[in-house]
C-alpha cells in the first residue's frame, strides 16, 4: 500500500479523509475525474473552514492532488492514485476506511460494471497485454528520462561493446559490411575480412589520411583507401575521412555513448524515406482549412523539405557525390478523385522547393465509388487501409526503384499503414501521433459503443495499440505527450491500461519506459515564418493586401463583421472551426469582458462562414455557435471573422501584419498536442497566449516569452489578456520585450534543421540497435498481427459493409 495512504490511516487526518469521502458520496456524479475531485475538495475545505495550508499541504490534500479518478459504488469507492509520473496504484475503500489494493484487471471490471457492461456469467473478457514482450529490451528506470530513448540506447550499446569487446566489434563489423547504394558497396569491402582486421586497418587508414592536406577531395585518394578495404562513405575530404575514422577508432578502443552517437550519425545508410499521411486533403494549395487537414500538411511538407536538404548535405559530407547518390523523400497519401479543385486527384506532385521530394497519392480501391471517389473522414477511413498499403507498396517500389530505408507514419491511420508496409518490407518504422483521439474525447473508450456510429473508436484505438507497439521508434513533440505532468496523464500513458467494454481489456497497452520514445519537436519554416522586423524580406503589396483583408475589406463571401475602431489592438487567432480548437470559446471570453472589448478588436481566420460550405457536422455546429455568441454579446463592430483558406505565404505574412500593430495571438484549444501555430506566431514576433493543456506548456515559458491560459475558464482567460494589454499601455517597451523573447525561444529550440538532424541520427542509431540487439521482435509482431486479424480486420469489414450501402 502507498506510504502516503498508510501515513494518513495512522494519523489524525484519517477522520478528515473519511469525512471528505462521505461528502463525495453525495455527488450526483458517480465517476469523478481529477478536476471533479479537486473542486469537491476545495468545497469541502470551504465548508469546514479549513486553512489554505490544509488544502495545499495536508496529507489528505496531497492524496487528493495525486488522485486521478474515483468511482463511487454502492458499498465502496475505487480510487486511482498516481503518486509519480507513469506510476498508478488502485484501491477500493469500504466504510470505516478499510482499504484494499486492486489489480488492474479488477479495476477494469469495475469500469465495465459502471457502464453496465460487466458479464462474468458469460466468461472472461479478452485481455491485451504487451508487458511480456518488453522483457527482451532494456528499460529506462527514471521517469525524467522518458522520451530520451536514444541517449539511453547509446549508453546501453556502448556498455555492451565495453563488456564484450570482441562480440561488439564483430557486430559492428557485420553492420558496416551491409551498406550499399544501387549496387555500389559502401564503407568497407571484402579486403577487410573480419573484425580484428577492421580494427587494424582503421589505424593504418588514419595514418595514411593524416599525411594528406585536410581539404584534399576524397576522389583524389579514393583508390588508395579502397586498396586498404575502405569504400566511399567515410567523408568528402581527407580531413572529414580522418575525423570519421578516428571516431570509429575511439569507439573500438573505448566505447562511449557520445562517441557511439557521433559515429552512427555519420553512417550513410538512409537515402530513401517515406512519410505516410493517409487521411485528409494532402496538397500544397487549397487544402488548409478543410476537414482533416490543418497542421498535418504544414508539418509534413516542411519536414520533407528539411529531410531532403539534410540528406543531401549528409551525402555530400560522406563523399558520395561521385556515385551520383540522390536522396528521395516520398510523402505517401491518398488520391481523392473528386478533388474539389485541388490537386489531390494527381498521382504525383513535386514538393515545392525540392529536387527530389514528392507527394505520391494512391487511391482507395472502389468498393463503393460513391464513398471512395470522395473525401472520407479520418473516423471512417479504416476499411481501406490494408488494401491501400498493398497498393502503395507497388507504387513505392516503382518510384523509389527499391524499398525505402525508413518509413515514418503520421496520425493513427498513417501509423497503421506504416506498420503494414514496414512489416512487409522489413524496414525501420517510426511513428508520429500528433494527436491521439483517446485523450481528446472524454471517456471515449468507456462509452465507445454509444460513439461507435460516429467515431469508430474501436478501430482507431486498436490501430493505435498495433502501431505504437510495432514501431521501432516513437517521435513525440513533447515529454508530456508521452507521460503528462505530475497532475495530468499523458496521451500515450492513457493507453497503458483501459477497457473497451464487451470488446477487450488492455492490461498493458504500451511500455512507457521503453527507449523507443524520443522527444523531437518540430520546427518552423523560416522562409515563410520570420520576424516582422525583417522588412527587407517582406513584400509591400502583400502587406497592403492582407491589411485590407484583415481590417477593412467588405466581402460577404469572405468576411463577416466590420470594425468600428481600427486603432484598437488586435487579438488574433487562426484555426479550424471545431470543438477542440475552441475558437468559439475565445469569442465568448472576449464577449464576457466589456473592458477587453474597449481596448481590443478580435480577428479570427477560421476557414468557413456558412454551414452550407461545410460537410463536417462538428464544423457546422461551431459555425452556428459563433454566430450565436456574436449576437448574444453584441460583438458587432468589435469582431472580424474571415472565412478564407490562406496560401502558406499569406499565413506567414498575416502574423507579421498583426505584429506591426502590436497585436497578440491567442491559441485557445481545449487540448493541443503540440501547437505549430504557436511557433509561427512567436517567431513572427507576436506575444502569444496558449492553452495550458498539452504541448504549449513545453514551448512557452509562462510570463517570460508567452502566457498560459485555461481555455475552460473564460473569465480568467479574458482577465489575463486584459492584464497584458494594460501593462503594454503603461509600459511602451513591454510588448517589445515579450516579442523579442518569443522570437529568441523559437530560434534556439524549434527549427527544422534541429529536428531533421536529430531524426536522421535516430534512424541510424535505431537501425544499428535492431541489427545488433538480441531482442526477438518476431513474437511481438506475431501477437500484433493476431490483434490486426482477429479484432481490427473484422470490425473494418463491418464498417465497409455499411459504406457499401451508401
**Same domain assignment for residues 791 and 688:** no
Q: Which residues 6+ apart lie within 8 Å of 175 measured at CB?
A: 768, 771, 772
**Same domain assignment for residues 518 and 388:** yes
User: Are 177 and 229 a contacting pair, CB within 8 Å?
Assistant: no
Q: Is 81 helix (H, G, I), strand (E, B) or coil?
A: strand
pLDDT in the model for residue 291: 84
How many Å apart are CA 639 and CA 533, to the nearest integer? 27
Task: Enter the C-alpha cell of residue 516.
Answer: 523507443
The whole-chain average pLDDT of the chain stands at 93
pLDDT in the model for residue 430: 97
Residue 183 belongs to some domain of the structure: no
Cβ-count burial of 236 within 10 angstroms (0-12 exposed, 13-18 middle, 19+ buried)?
buried
Average pLDDT for residues 515-520, to the nearest whole number? 96
Q: What is the CATH number of the domain that holds 732?
A: 3.40.50.2000
As beta bridge partners, residue 247 has none
Long-range CB contacts for residues 129-136, cutoff 8 Å, separation at least 24: 129/506, 129/507, 129/508, 130/465, 130/469, 130/508, 130/509, 130/510, 130/511, 130/780, 130/783, 131/507, 131/508, 131/511, 133/469, 133/779, 133/780, 133/783, 134/511, 134/514, 136/774, 136/775, 136/776, 136/777
Q: Summarize pLDDT for 447-492 with one digit per residue, the tens.
A: 999 999 999 999 999 999 999 999 999 999 999 899 998 888 999 9
**Same domain assignment for residues 38 and 53:** yes
**Same domain assignment for residues 610 and 700:** yes
**Same domain assignment for residues 315 and 330:** yes
User: Are 571 and 666 a contacting pair, CB within 8 Å?
Assistant: yes
Q: Summarize pLDDT for 32-45 with one digit per residue, the tens.
A: 999 899 999 999 99
DSSP codes joined into one string, 381-432:
-GGGHHHHHHHHHHHHHHHHTS--SEEEEEHHHHHHHHHHHHHHHT-EEEEE
How many Å apart are CA 684 and CA 533, to the nearest integer? 8
Q: Which residues 6+ apart lie within 8 Å of 391 measured at CB?
A: 362, 363, 365
* CA-to-CA dists, residue 692 to 128, 575, 581, 699, angstroms: 33, 17, 13, 11
Closest CA relative to residue 614, chosen from 577, 571, 666: 577
**Same domain assignment for residues 332 and 409:** yes
User: Are 328 and 400 a contacting pair, CB within 8 Å?
Assistant: yes
How many Å apart are CA 497 and CA 86, to the nearest integer? 11
pLDDT in the model for residue 657: 97
* CA-to-CA dists, residue 368 to 344, 379, 455, 456, 802, angstroms: 19, 17, 20, 19, 10
Pairing of strands 428-432, 406-410: parallel
Task: Enter the C-alpha cell of residue 771.
Answer: 541489427
- Domain-ending residue, one of 750, 777, 796: 750
Average pLDDT for residues 407-432, to the nearest whole number? 96
**Same domain assignment for residues 329 and 391:** yes
Task: Look up the domain containing 596 and give its range.
Answer: 535-750
**Same domain assignment for residues 361 and 418:** yes
pLDDT in the model for residue 776: 67
Closest CA relative to residue 347, chosen from 399, 409, 385, 393: 399
- Domain-ending residue, one of 735, 750, 765: 750
For residue 431, pLDDT over 60 is answered with: yes
For residue 680, pLDDT over 70 is answered with: yes
Residue 318 belongs to some domain of the structure: yes
For residue 161, pLDDT over 90 is answered with: no
Residue 131 belongs to some domain of the structure: no
Average pLDDT for residues 691-695, to the nearest whole number? 86
Say how many C-beta atoms besides its own lie within 10 A of residue 353's C-beta.
13
**Same domain assignment for residues 339 and 422:** yes
Average pLDDT for residues 285-296, to the nearest whole number? 81
Residue 611 belongs to some domain of the structure: yes
For residue 138, pLDDT over 80 is answered with: yes
Residue 129 belongs to some domain of the structure: no
Instruction: Please count the structural domains in the chain.
Output: 4
**Same domain assignment for residues 301 and 247:** no
DSSP codes joined into one string, 209-232:
HHTS-TT-BGGGTHHHHHHTTB-S
Residue 781 belongs to some domain of the structure: yes
Q: What is the CATH number of the domain that holds 29?
A: 3.10.450.330
Residue 720 or residue 166, greater confidence: 720
Task: Enter the C-alpha cell of residue 733.
Answer: 517597451
Residue 154 belongs to some domain of the structure: no
Q: Summarize pLDDT for 208-235 with one digit per residue, the tens.
A: 999 999 999 999 999 999 999 999 999 9
For residue 289, pLDDT over 80 is answered with: no
pLDDT in the model for residue 618: 86
**Same domain assignment for residues 221 and 347:** no
How many Å apart are CA 145 and CA 482, to the nearest integer? 11
Q: Summarize pLDDT for 569-603 with one digit per residue, the tens.
A: 999 999 988 888 999 999 999 999 999 999 999 99
pTM to 2 decimals? 0.86
In the structure, what pLDDT confidence band is assigned to residue 387 with cuts at 50, 70 and 90?
Answer: very high
**Same domain assignment for residues 254 and 329:** no
Q: For 779, what's the count of Cα atoms within 13 Å in the CB-facing half-sphere?
A: 10
pLDDT in the model for residue 774: 58
What are the counts of helices (DSSP H) followed by strands (DSSP E) for the chain?
32, 25
pLDDT in the model for residue 454: 93
Task: Enter the C-alpha cell of residue 20.
Answer: 471528505
Q: Summarize pLDDT for 734-790 with one digit per residue, the tens.
A: 999 999 999 999 999 999 999 999 999 999 999 998 888 755 688 999 999 999 999
3-class secondary structure for 526-563? CCCCCCCCCHHHCCHHHHHHHHHHHHHCCCCCCEECCC
135 DSSP 8-state letter: G
Average pLDDT for residues 136-145, to the nearest whole number? 90
Q: What is the CATH number of the domain that holds 217?
A: 1.20.120.1230
Residue 772 belongs to some domain of the structure: yes
Task: Enter the C-alpha cell of residue 88.
Answer: 498508478
191 DSSP 8-state letter: T
Say how many C-beta atoms besides its own lie within 10 A of residue 141's C-beta.
8
How many Å apart are CA 144 and CA 165, to the nearest integer? 30
Query: Under the phi-then-psi rule, with left for phi > 0, alpha for psi from -120 to 50, and beta for the rest, what region is 625?
Result: alpha
* CA-to-CA dists, residue 5 to 2, 8, 44, 622, angstroms: 5, 5, 19, 45
Average pLDDT for residues 199-204, to the nearest whole number? 96
706 DSSP 8-state letter: B
Amino acid at each position: 500500500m502507498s506510504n502516503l495512504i498508510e501515513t494518513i490511516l495512522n494519523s489524525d487526518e484519517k477522520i478528515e479523509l473519511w469525512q471528505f469521502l462521505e461528502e463525495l458520496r453525495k455527488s450526483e456524479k458517480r465517476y469523478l475525474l481529477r478536476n471533479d475531485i479537486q473542486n469537491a475538495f476545495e468545497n469541502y475545505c470551504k465548508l469546514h473552514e479549513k486553512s489554505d495550508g490544509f488544502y495545499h499541504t495536508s496529507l489528505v490534500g496531497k492524496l487528493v492532488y495525486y488522485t486521478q479518478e474515483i468511482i463511487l459504488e454502492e458499498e465502496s469507492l475505487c480510487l486511482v492514485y498516481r503518486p509519480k509520473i507513469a506510476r498508478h496504484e488502485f484501491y477500493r475503500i469500504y466504510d470505516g476506511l478499510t482499504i484494499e489494493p486492486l489489480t488492474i484487471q479488477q479495476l477494469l471490471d469495475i469500469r465495465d460494471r459502471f457502464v453496465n457492461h460487466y458479464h462474468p456469467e458469460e466468461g472472461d473478457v479478452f485481455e491485451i497485454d504487451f508487458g511480456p514482450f518488453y522483457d527482451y529490451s532494456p528499460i529506462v528506470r527514471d521517469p525524467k528520462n522518458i522520451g530520451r530513448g536514444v541517449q539511453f540506447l547509446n549508453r546501453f550499446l556502448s556498455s555492451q561493446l565495453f563488456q564484450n569487446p570482441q562480440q561488439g566489434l564483430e557486430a559492428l563489423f557485420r553492420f558496416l559490411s551491409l551498406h550499399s547504394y544501387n549496387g555500389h558497396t559502401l564503407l568497407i569491402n571484402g579486403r577487410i575480412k573480419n573484425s580484428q582486421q577492421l580494427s587494424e586497418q582503421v589505424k593504418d587508414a588514419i595514418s595514411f589520411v593524416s599525411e594528406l592536406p585536410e581539404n584534399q577531395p576524397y576522389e583524389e585518394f579514393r583508390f588508395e583507401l579502397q586498396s586498404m578495404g575502405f569504400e566511399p562513405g567515410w567523408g568528402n575530404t581527407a580531413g572529414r575521412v580522418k575525423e570519421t575514422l578516428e571516431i570509429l577508432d575511439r569507439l573500438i578502443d573505448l566505447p562511449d555513448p557520445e562517441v557511439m552517437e557521433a559515429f552512427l550519425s555519420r553512417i550513410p545508410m538512409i537515402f530513401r524515406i517515406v512519410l505516410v499521411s493517409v487521411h485528409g486533403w494532402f496538397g500544397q494549395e487549397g487544402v488548409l482549412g478543410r476537414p482533416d487537414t490543418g497542421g498535418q500538411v504544414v508539418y509534413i511538407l516542411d519536414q520533407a523539405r528539411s529531410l531532403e536538404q539534410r540528406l543531401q548535405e549528409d551525402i555530400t559530407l560522406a563523399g558520395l557525390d561521385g556515385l551520383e547518390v540522390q536522396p528521395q523523400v516520398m510523402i505517401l497519401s491518398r488520391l481523392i478523385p473528386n478533388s474539389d479543385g485541388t490537386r489531390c486527384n494527381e498521382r504525383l506532385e513535386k514538393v515545392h522547393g525540392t529536387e527530389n521530394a514528392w507527394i505520391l497519392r494512391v487511391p482507395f480501391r472502389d468498393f463503393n465509388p460513391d464513398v471512395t471517389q470522395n473525401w472520407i473522414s479520418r473516423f471512417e477511413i479504416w476499411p481501406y487501409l490494408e488494401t491501400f498499403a498493398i497498393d502503395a507498396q507497388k507504387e513505392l517500389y516503382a518510384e523509389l526503384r527499391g524499398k525505402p530505408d525508413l518509413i515514418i507514419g503520421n496520425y493513427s491511420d498513417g501509423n497503421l499503414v506504416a506498420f503494414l508496409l514496414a512489416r512487409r518490407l522489413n524496414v525501420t518504422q517510426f511513428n508520429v501521433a500528433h494527436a491521439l483521439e483517446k485523450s481528446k474525447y472524454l471517456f471515449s473508450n468507456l462509452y465507445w459503443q454509444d460513439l461507435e456510429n460516429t467515431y469508430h473508436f474501436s478501430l482507431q484505438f486498436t490501430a493505435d495499440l498495433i502501431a505504437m507497439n510495432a514501431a521501432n521508434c516513437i517521435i513525440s513533440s513533447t515529454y508530456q505527450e508521452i507521460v503528462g505532468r505530475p497532475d495530468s496523464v499523458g496521451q500515450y500513458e492513457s493507453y497503458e491500461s483501459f477497457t473497451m467494454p464487451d470488446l477487450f481489456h488492455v492490461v498493458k497497452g504500451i511500455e512507457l519506459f521503453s527507449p523507443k520514445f524520443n522527444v523531437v519537436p518540430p520546427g518552423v519554416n523560416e522562409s515563410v515564418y520570420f520576424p516582422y522586423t525583417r522588412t527587407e524580406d517582406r513584400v509591400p503589396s502583400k502587406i497592403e493586401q492582407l491589411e485590407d483583408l484583415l481590417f477593412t475589406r467588405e466581402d460577404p463571401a469572405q468576411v463577416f463583421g466590420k470594425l468600428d475602431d481600427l486603432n484598437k489592438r488586435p487579438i488574433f487567432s487562426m484555426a479550424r472551426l471545431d470543438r477542440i480548437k475552441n475558437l468559439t470559446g475565445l469569442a465568448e471570453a472576449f464577449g464576457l469582458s466589456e473592458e477587453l472589448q474597449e481596448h481590443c478588436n478580435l480577428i479570427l481566420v477560421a476557414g468557413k462562414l456558412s454551414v452550407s460550405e461545410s460537410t463536417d457536422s462538428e464544423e457546422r455546429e461551431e459555425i452556428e455557435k459563433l454566430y450565436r455568441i456574436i449576437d448574444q454579446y453584441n460583438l458587432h463592430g468589435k469582431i472580424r471573422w474571415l472565412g478564407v483558406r490562406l496560401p502558406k505565404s499569406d499565413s506567414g505574412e498575416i502574423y507579421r501584419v498583426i505584429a506591426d500593430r502590436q497585436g497578440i495571438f491567442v491559441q485557445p484549444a481545449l487540448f493541443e498536442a503540440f501547437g505549430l501555430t504557436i511557433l509561427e506566431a512567436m517567431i513572427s514576433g507576436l506575444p502569444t497566449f496558449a492553452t495550458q493543456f498539452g504541448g504549449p506548456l513545453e514551448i512557452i515559458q509562462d510570463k517570460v516569452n508567452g502566457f498560459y491560459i485555461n481555455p475552460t475558464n473564460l473569465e480568467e482567460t479574458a482577465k489575463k489578456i486584459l492584464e497584458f494589454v494594460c501593462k503594454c499601455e503603461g509600459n511602451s517597451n513591454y510588448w517589445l520585450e515579450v516579442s523579442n523573447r518569443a522570437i529568441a525561444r523559437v530560434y534556439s529550440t524549434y527549427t527544422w534543421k534541429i529536428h531533421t538532424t536529430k531524426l536522421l541520427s535516430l534512424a541510424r542509431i535505431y537501425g544499428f540497435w535492431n541489427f545488433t540487439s538480441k531482442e526477438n521482435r518476431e513474437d511481438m509482431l506475431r501477437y500484433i498481427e493476431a490483434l490486426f486479424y482477429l479484432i481490427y480486420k473484422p470490425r473494418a469489414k463491418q464498417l465497409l459493409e455499411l459504406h457499401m450501402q451508401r
